[in-house]
A and B are shown apart, each in its own frame.
Chain A
Amino acid sequence: MTIDGITPGKVLRPESIDELSQALRAESGAVVPLGAATQTCFGNPLHRADCVLDLTGLSRITEYNPADLTIHVEAGVTLGQLQHALRENNQFLPLDPWNGPQATIGGIAAANAQGPFRAAGTIRDWIIGMKVVHVDGRISKTGGRVVKNVTGYDLAKLYTGSLGTLAVVAEISLKLRARFARTATAIVRCENAAAAGRLLSAIRHSPLSPVSCEWVGPENTVWLRFGEHPSAVDWQIRNLPAADWKIIEGADESAEWEKLRRQYHELGSVMLRVIGLPSTVSEIVSEYQPHAWIAHVMNGIVLMSVSTGDEIRAIRSRYRVVVEKAPAEMRREAGTFAPAPAEYELMKKMKEAFDPEGRLNPGRHVDGERRN
């Protein structure tokens, strides 16, 4: 196994949170927590890796309370495993991150990984509690096991998206929702980017409320997914702006979205997440002319494929950009998150407070960024 060209000295596979804690207590070098390894090229390149902590052994669903719509899972439980367990009670976690069903919940949380289903937020919005193991082996929790809770600080927000650089996520409590009584997807191919832009603007200004609204290029297809009461889905399908829509449901629908998920992985070797606004999505695409893109239109986010570091700099001069995927050298050069100075200082202090020796995933997050 190599990550960013580094071969770790050893790999440990704890099978319980206590074992994870013991492993961290015993370790004195650089520690790299790893789930299903679906997003090892996200984040800044690692500086060192003395020990990889393979968390796939933490694979228990520790408690599931369907009537309370809550579940508590160890970090190594996969999204597929979770959704499968929920299905028997007609419930689900409304997320479909690009890294797919084999991704672990811990990994999805650490990276705040996301996909087209954005209407209900990202995993940060579904986490109600977390248990983490600190670099010295200390175990602590935040939040709780109830769906609404403001007891103590919400540290789960900090751990989510911090790429395992503050603490190792060991257990996650999630709230859930009932599966939609019906879903349907409408897809149309537009003539060109301008036509797609016009169609998307019409959708944004209509009463439609899709759970996913994607603009995929360069082929200029628009994907809308609806999930609601069956009558509400029907109403929305009937009220789509005039176009040559293809409506798909059931197994075909799932297969089609799975195709898009695979397509995301083939968009290019340098992928950016450009954060704009719903009204600037068209402008972003027309201005930077990416080779390929998938835009979460309702969120103002364009995932785009580019070629050079210069392009990243140019886009960053106007928009906030996260590097989703790039060769290690380019990530090192550009920085994954490029935080503003005040933000950088706070993140750096946070990292130092949790991991004073810089041993957790060294280089991955703020410690791999440059102060701008």
Chain B
Amino acid sequence: MRREIIDRLERALGAAAVTTDDTELLVYECDALALFKNKPDAVVFPANTEQVAEVVRIANEYRIPFLPRGSGTGLSGGAMAIDGGIIIELQGMNRILSVDVDNRFAVVQPGVVNIHISQAVAPHGLYYAPDPSSQSACSIGGNVAENAGGPHCLKYGMTTNHILAIEAVLSSGEVVRLGNPAGEAVGMDLLGAIVGSEGTFAIVTEITVRLLPKPQAVKTLLAAYKSFEECSQTVSDIVAAGIVPAALEFMDDNTIVAVEASVYRAGFPLDARAVLLIEVDGFSDGLTETAAEIIEICRRNNAYDVRVAKDEEERARLWMGRKGSFGAMGRISPDMMVMDAVIPRTQLPGVLAGIERISERYRLKVANVFHAGDGNLHPLILFDSRHQDQVDKILIMGEEIMRLCVGVGGSLSGEHGVGCEKNDFMGMVFTESDLESMACVKRVFNSSGLLNPSKVFPTGRGCTEIGRPGTTSTEEIGRKVEKMLLGQKQ
């Protein structure tokens, strides 16, 4: 990047808030989709909205691509600088600005970690509902960009249902405020369009989130099965019975083995083919009956073990096992590719069998851990990136799984987004005309196209061209970080 531009950025933000150091940039070469990497030319750390807007104006002036980044936990490459340029790192804007307990909302900066909101408002009996598995690390700004989900979205809805208002910097550098704390859409819903636009419409710099009162009571159950079919049928039967669980999570045997071998150990039965983690919440009155009804449905589907968490500690442990399951995969495989697809929930048995066939054919293990209640699959393809043949295989294998899901009426992503992971698959679900309508909206928000380019829309190159998978090995990063820590800047 030209010295002149760096000087401009440094003048705007202060020298400490701009980095172009090659080693430091390594940290920003990918998000949690670590398979694909590309280094930005600079990373800036703004402290407020005005600084974000100023960076955007400078980037526009020099026609440099730019994109926002939160905690980098995204799984579709949304925060990867595919065309280089400036990453606007918002982690430093991490203050909870205000909490209105009476009206149940909080105003927060985008770098606030998801779970910190719930922790901050817990003394008032409130919480923020969307709970992606990465909630202890992911930022609320990233959640807004990706319309993040989580297990409890089954009952409480996605991020989009909990964002009441935002302040955002448009691609031109203009600052806008949209929405109101009542969450009442007024005319065409611009705010609703920005949520889930994967950081390609605007950079969100302040967010008003809805808070919910904590339910009076919660019951968490674990049901173990000897077959996928019986486990899947239980999901359908619970839904058919008119029960709306707070969460309904599926974990297969590979997942159980990994979790039980890890620090997230939750006491999942090692002899099960699959388990369901089921949670119901609401008023104490009626909840015991609902739980009993669920137990009955599990038994009818041959669950050989059904337990109800006896206290908050056991419940927390079960959830720790579920939410730690992605991380636990390191116990059984050096690398994994997290897939995200969504299918009509009645298609679960057939699709799981299909994934198993694909896994056998490619001779790569798949672990299935997902939000069964809304048909949101997460096949985790386990591989070893030191073997190039495996790396080559997972991409084709992933595509095949996507085709399988789309073929039964499903879609490419339930909560992780398209980013630069699946943009070349968009043609599986959308026509040219559908994409033209989306492009039409993108042009309104992002007329220069400089904000987070080469995402969402098919480019014919995906992530793969820039990042021949595995450009930087973990070992190499380790060495560089070590040098950095020792003060030997390269």
User: A residues within 8 Å of B by Cβ?
Assistant: 65-70, 90, 112, 121-122, 124-125, 132, 134, 138-142, 144-155, 157-163, 165-167, 177-179, 181, 204, 207, 209, 228-232, 234-236, 273, 275-279, 299-301, 320, 322, 336-337, 339-340, 342-343, 346-347, 349-350, 353-354, 365-366
Q: Are A300 and B429 within 8 A (Cβ)? A: no
- B180-198 interface code vs A (CB 8 A; 1 in, 0 out): 1111111111111101110
Q: Does B349 contact A (CB under 8 A)?
A: no
Interfacial chain A residues near B435, Cβ < 8 Å: 152
Q: Are A152 and B438 within 8 A (Cβ)? A: yes
Q: Are B190 and A232 within 8 A (Cβ)? A: no
Interfacial chain A residues near B415, Cβ < 8 Å: 148, 150
Q: Are B243 and A161 within 8 A (Cβ)? A: no
Interfacial chain B residues near A154, Cβ < 8 Å: 147, 160, 192-193, 195-197
Interfacial chain B residues near A139, Cβ < 8 Å: 433
Given contacts A112-B185, A140-B437, A150-B147, whether A343 and B242 have CB atoms under 8 Å apart is no
Given contacts A146-B343, A353-B441, whether A124 and B240 have CB atoms under 8 Å apart is no
Q: Interface-forming stretch among B253-261, B298-306, B330-338, B371-379? A: B371-379
Q: Are B346 and A152 within 8 A (Cβ)? A: no
Q: Are A140 and B433 within 8 A (Cβ)? A: yes
Interfacial chain A residues near B180, Cβ < 8 Å: 275, 320
Given contacts A145-B344, A231-B285, whether A366 and B182 have CB atoms under 8 Å apart is no
Q: Are B283 and A146 within 8 A (Cβ)? A: no
CA distance A231 to B285 in the complex (A): 5
* Ranked 4 nearest A-B pairs via Cβ: A157-B192, A178-B242, A229-B286, A231-B286
User: B residues within 8 Å of A by Cβ?
Assistant: 100, 102-104, 146-147, 149, 153, 157-158, 160-161, 174-178, 180-193, 195-197, 201, 213, 216, 236, 239-244, 282-287, 289-290, 342-346, 371, 374-376, 409-418, 422, 426, 429-431, 433-438, 440-445, 456
CA distance A265 to B302 in the complex (A): 54
Cβ distance B129 to chain A, nearest Cβ, rounded Å: 13
Cβ distance A114 to chain B, nearest Cβ, rounded Å: 9
Interfacial chain A residues near B418, Cβ < 8 Å: 150-152
Of B189, B236, B409, which is within 8 A of A157 by CB? B189
Interfacial chain A residues near B195, Cβ < 8 Å: 154, 157
Given contacts A152-B418, A347-B187, A353-B444, whether A144 and B411 have CB atoms under 8 Å apart is yes
Of A179, A231, A301, A347, which is within 8 A of B182 by CB? A301
Q: Are A366 and B187 within 8 A (Cβ)? A: yes
Q: Are B346 and A68 within 8 A (Cβ)? A: yes
Cβ distance B58 to chain A, nearest Cβ, rounded Å: 21
Q: Are B436 and A140 within 8 A (Cβ)? A: yes
Of A150, A153, A177, which is within 8 A of B441 by CB? A153
CA distance A322 to B186 in the complex (A): 7
Cβ distance A371 to chain B, nearest Cβ, rounded Å: 14
Q: Are A275 and B437 within 8 A (Cβ)? A: no
Q: Are B243 and A178 within 8 A (Cβ)? A: yes
Select from chain B the residue with minimum beta-carbon distance to A182.
Answer: B286
Cβ distance B157 to chain A, nearest Cβ, rounded Å: 7
Q: What are 10 of the A-B contact pairs (CB < 8 Å)?
A: A142-B434, A144-B429, A148-B153, A155-B437, A161-B186, A161-B189, A231-B285, A275-B186, A276-B182, A354-B440
Q: Are A148 and B185 within 8 A (Cβ)? A: no
Q: Are B456 and A152 within 8 A (Cβ)? A: yes
Interfacial chain A residues near B147, Cβ < 8 Å: 150, 154
- Among B190, B287, B431, find the residue whose CB has the most chain A CB atoms closer than 10 A: B190
Q: Are B188 and A347 within 8 A (Cβ)? A: yes
CA distance A347 to B66 in the complex (A): 24
Q: Are A148 and B375 within 8 A (Cβ)? A: yes
Other than the given A132-B437, A149-B413, 9 more pairs (CB < 8 A) read: A69-B239, A138-B433, A165-B188, A178-B243, A209-B213, A232-B285, A276-B182, A299-B184, A353-B443
Interfacial chain A residues near B445, Cβ < 8 Å: 346
Q: Are A151 and B409 within 8 A (Cβ)? A: no
Interfacial chain B residues near A148, Cβ < 8 Å: 149, 153, 158, 342, 371, 374-376, 414-415
Q: Are B189 and A160 within 8 A (Cβ)? A: yes
Select from chain A the residue with minimum beta-carbon distance to B202.
Answer: A346
Q: Are A90 and B431 within 8 A (Cβ)? A: no
Q: Are B440 and A353 within 8 A (Cβ)? A: yes
CA distance A218 to B346 in the complex (A): 50
Cβ distance B296 to chain A, nearest Cβ, rounded Å: 15
Cβ distance B381 to chain A, nearest Cβ, rounded Å: 20
Of B244, B410, B411, B414, which is within 8 A of A178 by CB? B244
Interfacial chain B residues near A350, Cβ < 8 Å: 188, 190, 441, 444
Q: Are B283 and A158 within 8 A (Cβ)? A: no
Interfacial chain A residues near B158, Cβ < 8 Å: 148, 150
CA distance A66 to B415 in the complex (A): 23
Q: Are B193 and A158 within 8 A (Cβ)? A: yes
Q: Are B413 and A150 within 8 A (Cβ)? A: yes
Q: Are B412 and A151 within 8 A (Cβ)? A: yes
Q: Are B371 and A142 within 8 A (Cβ)? A: no
Interfacial chain B residues near A141, Cβ < 8 Å: 430-431, 434
Interfacial chain B residues near A162, Cβ < 8 Å: 187-189
Q: Are A275 and B176 within 8 A (Cβ)? A: no
Q: Are B441 and A230 within 8 A (Cβ)? A: no
Q: Are B193 and A228 within 8 A (Cβ)? A: no
Interfacial chain A residues near B456, Cβ < 8 Å: 152-153
Q: Are B239 and A152 within 8 A (Cβ)? A: no
Cβ distance B126 to chain A, nearest Cβ, rounded Å: 13
Cβ distance A4 to chain B, nearest Cβ, rounded Å: 18
Cβ distance A180 to chain B, nearest Cβ, rounded Å: 9
Q: Are A150 and B414 within 8 A (Cβ)? A: yes
Cβ distance B11 to chain A, nearest Cβ, rounded Å: 27
Given contacts A146-B409, A150-B146, whether A158 and B187 have CB atoms under 8 Å apart is no
Select from chain A the residue with minimum beta-carbon distance to B243.
Answer: A178
Select from chain A the residue with minimum beta-carbon distance to B168.
Answer: A342
Q: Are B216 and A346 within 8 A (Cβ)? A: no
- Among B174, B236, B344, find the residue whose CB has the most chain A CB atoms closer than 10 A: B344
Cβ distance A104 to chain B, nearest Cβ, rounded Å: 19
Cβ distance B342 to chain A, nearest Cβ, rounded Å: 5
CA distance A204 to B104 in the complex (A): 11
Q: Are B411 and A277 within 8 A (Cβ)? A: no
Q: Are B187 and A365 within 8 A (Cβ)? A: yes
Cβ distance A312 to chain B, nearest Cβ, rounded Å: 15
Select from chain A the residue with minimum beta-carbon distance to B437.
Answer: A140
Select from chain B the residue with minimum beta-carbon distance to A167.
Answer: B437
Of A155, A275, A339, which is within 8 A of B187 by CB? A339
Q: Are A155 and B438 within 8 A (Cβ)? A: yes
Cβ distance B407 to chain A, nearest Cβ, rounded Å: 13
CA distance A153 to B174 in the complex (A): 22
Given contacts A140-B434, A207-B216, A277-B103, whether A153 and B240 have CB atoms under 8 Å apart is no
CA distance A167 to B437 in the complex (A): 10
Interfacial chain A residues near B374, Cβ < 8 Å: 146-148
Interfacial chain B residues near A336, Cβ < 8 Å: 187
CA distance A350 to B286 in the complex (A): 48
CA distance A152 to B239 in the complex (A): 27
CA distance A204 to B196 in the complex (A): 31
Q: Are A161 and B433 within 8 A (Cβ)? A: no
Interfacial chain A residues near B410, Cβ < 8 Å: 144, 146
Cβ distance B426 to chain A, nearest Cβ, rounded Å: 7
